[in-house]
Amino acid sequence: MTIANAVSSHAPAANSAQYLSFSLAGEEYAVDILRVQEIRGICRITELPHSAPSVRGVMNLRGAVVPVVDMRAALGLPNEGYGQFTVIIVLSVRGRTVGFVVDSVSDVLSLDESAIERAPELGGRVDASLVSGIGRAQERFVILLDVDRVAGIDVVAEGTS
C-alpha cells in the first residue's frame, strides 16, 4: 500500500488530522499519518542481544539498518506470533526510521479535533503515557498512540537508521 494513494483518497477537512489505523489484539490503534513512511510485509528481522523486550531486532530497509519494535510487547499485550496480515509500519521517530510490527493495517482515518479526547487512565492494560488521545470514528473508539513514547529513548538513541 502506498501512503500517497491512501491519503489522497481521504482528503481531510481543515480542522482535522489523518491517522493510519491498525489492529493489535482485537483493538484499534492509530498513528499520525504524517509519521508513516511505508507499510511492509513481515521480513527477516535480525535479533540483537541485550535489547529491550519490545525491540525485536533490526531489518534491512534498502541498505539502512532499521530497529524494529513489536507493538504487542511495547504495549504489554500477549504475544500471539505473526499471522498472514502482520505488517511492519515504518515510521519517522525523532528524526530516525523505526519499524513497528502490528497485527494488521486497517484504514486511513480523518478525525476532527472535536472527535479526539484526552487519554483517560487506562487501568494498566496500556500505559496512558503512550496514548496521545482517544478518537471517535463513527461508532467506535480508536486509541491514538504517541510513537515517540512507544519507541522509547533506547530505540532511537542506539544510532541505528
In tens, the pLDDT along 67-100 reads 999 999 988 889 888 889 999 999 999 889 999 9
pTM of the model: 0.81
Instruction: Report the DSSP beta bridge partners of residue 96.
Output: 93
pLDDT for residue 1: 46
CA distance 59 to 45: 5
Interacting residues of 106 by C-beta distance below 8 A, sequence separation 6+: 21, 22, 23, 28
Largest CA distance in the chain: 46
Half-sphere exposure of 30 (CA within 13 A, CB side): 25
Residue spans per domain, the chain: 3-7+16-157
Judged by DSSP in three states, 139 sits in coil
Averaged pLDDT, 4-16:
54
Residue 9, exposed/middle/buried by CB under 10 A (0-12, 13-18, 19+)? exposed
Half-sphere exposure of 66 (CA within 13 A, CB side): 26
CA distance 43 to 80: 17
| Size of the chain in residues | 161
pLDDT for residue 122: 56
Higher pLDDT, 114 or 160: 114
pLDDT for residue 4: 44
Answer whether residue 8 shows pLDDT above 70: no
Averaged pLDDT, 145-158:
71
Higher pLDDT, 122 or 93: 93
Judged by DSSP in three states, 72 sits in helix
The sign of the torsion formed by the CA atoms of 108, 112, 118, 121 equals negative
pLDDT for residue 139: 85
Architecture of the 3-7+16-157 domain: Beta Barrel (2.40)
